[in-house]
Structure 1
Amino acid sequence: MTAEWSIREADIQALAFPAALPGLEVLEVEAADTESADAESLHTVQAHLDNVVPALESLRAQSGRLAAWGVELAQRLLCGQRLLAAGNGGSAAEAQHLTAELVGRFDGERAPFSAISLHAESSALTALANDYGYEHVFARQVRAHGRSGDVLLLLSTSGQSPNLLRAVEAADRLNVTTWALTGPGPNPLADACDEAVTIDALNANAQEGHLIALHAICRAFDLEVRRRSTGLQEGRTEAEWGVEP
């Protein structure tokens, strides 16, 4: 490493202890100021936690739809269909969480199911953004992967993302069922999809509610898979019901 790029011990000391730098004064923070800042931080955290309650109440009011999604998703995936999911930013992480639960497992051991997070296809995503524009990154993947009877689940706190709206348009032309999980409604994405669960809460709390909703769907999904596994007693194979031998 050249001298120009090395950091000397004296430089580190100066960075760690600003008082060593000429012309700077160390500001003393009074104990009362510290206590005030701590109280303000505590209040902010408690307010955030309090704001989770409306998200939970909103989900409870739509628990019937979440249960129905879990059951329908199990029935479709057991018949060989797949789930496509997408979102932007934090919503992308939430969508990927769901696909991981389906390809892997949620609570108990079972067969893997086909679920693809479109935003996780990094080479395809960047190529499509570069060649067609970011608004088309999900729509073109839906056209590539979507088959009649599949489900496309889209997550967005705002419900206004253009690339998700374009994906709905592509899905409609392929007879792919579209579900939206959004923040407060009405919003364009919820209106465009076949069905939607809208969470009436602040954006951050709505996104936290999305994870709870996804886990609720997984519970209904696994229950339906187990229920259908009773078909084994009627001579069906493990593969037909998605149960590992």
Structure 2
Amino acid sequence: MNILRGHLPAILDIGEFVARRVQAGATVFLEGNGGSHSLVEHLGGELIGRLGSDAPPIGAVVLQNSPPVTSALSNDFGFENAMERELRALCRPGDVFIAVSGSGESANLIRAAEAANSLAVSTICLVGKRYSRLAMVSTRSICCSATSTVVAQQLHMVLMHSLRLAIEASLASVGTR
């Protein structure tokens, strides 16, 4: 588990940051493309479900999760703008946007992160490539320097479980939510 040792400070920092935002009433919005989208669906379910805990659910929304909405926005505004459009409709200042990308170079995720920044929504990314454009426009990032997309997705799953545990621990330490 060397991946965790190298990223533990960032995981704990992001976990505490997200917990503070959630305590203040923020919703956590998540997005990724392809396999990364499946990963954020998984994380969204864990934030809402709290893995069998009786703690209150954390408000989490996976963007681009409605095929008709995604299709309409992609058709009318272009795929590279569809995610940004949905984010602008749903996010409010103080919310959190978590983007996951193997490359960190997906135009739609970068545009969504830039839109989130303009709305005073905190942006967090997990990317497989150091110095990616997505990492550069995000408030906080974890770059795992993977050798391939497959490896990035495997590492992101471990990092996301660790991040969820860090959020849970931060919420529990103050006895709320």
8 Å Cα contact 1:152/1:176 also seen in 2: yes
Q: Could you tell me which residue of structure 2 aligns to residue 159 of structure 1?
A: 104
Q: How many residues align?
A: 176
8 Å Cα contact 1:58/1:200 also seen in 2: no
Cα distance between partner residues in 1 of 2:52 and 2:150 = 26
Cα distance between partner residues in 2 of 1:169 and 1:184 = 19
Q: Could you tell me which residue of structure 2 aligns to residue 218 of structure 1?
A: 164
1:140 aligned to 2:72? no
In the TM superposition, structure 1's runs of 4+ consecutive aligned residues that sit over 6 Å from their partners are none
Amino acid at match of 1:112: P
Q: Mark the runs of 5 or more structure 1 residues left unpaired by the alignment.
A: 1-55, 230-240
8 Å Cα contact 1:91/1:207 also seen in 2: yes
Q: Secondary structure at the match of 1:216?
A: helix
**Aligned-pair CA distance for 1:119:** 2.1
8 Å Cα contact 2:21/2:94 also seen in 1: yes
Cα distance between partner residues in 2 of 1:172 and 1:218 = 23
TM-score by length of 2: 0.94
Q: Which has the larger radius of gyration?
A: 1
Cα distance between partner residues in 1 of 2:105 and 2:8 = 24
8 Å Cα contact 1:87/1:154 also seen in 2: yes
1:186 aligned to 2:162? no
Closer/same/farther in 2, CA of residues 193 and 200 from structure 1, 3 Å limit: same
Q: Could you tell me which residue of structure 2 aligns to residue 122 of structure 1?
A: 67
TM-score by length of 1: 0.69
Q: Mark the runs of 5 or more structure 2 residues left unpaired by the alignment.
A: none
CA RMSD in angstroms comes to 1.3
Amino acid at match of 2:113: V
Q: Could you tell me which residue of structure 2 aligns to residue 104 of structure 1?
A: 49
1:85 aligned to 2:27? no
Q: Secondary structure at the match of 2:100?
A: strand
Percent of aligned pairs with the same residue? Answer: 32
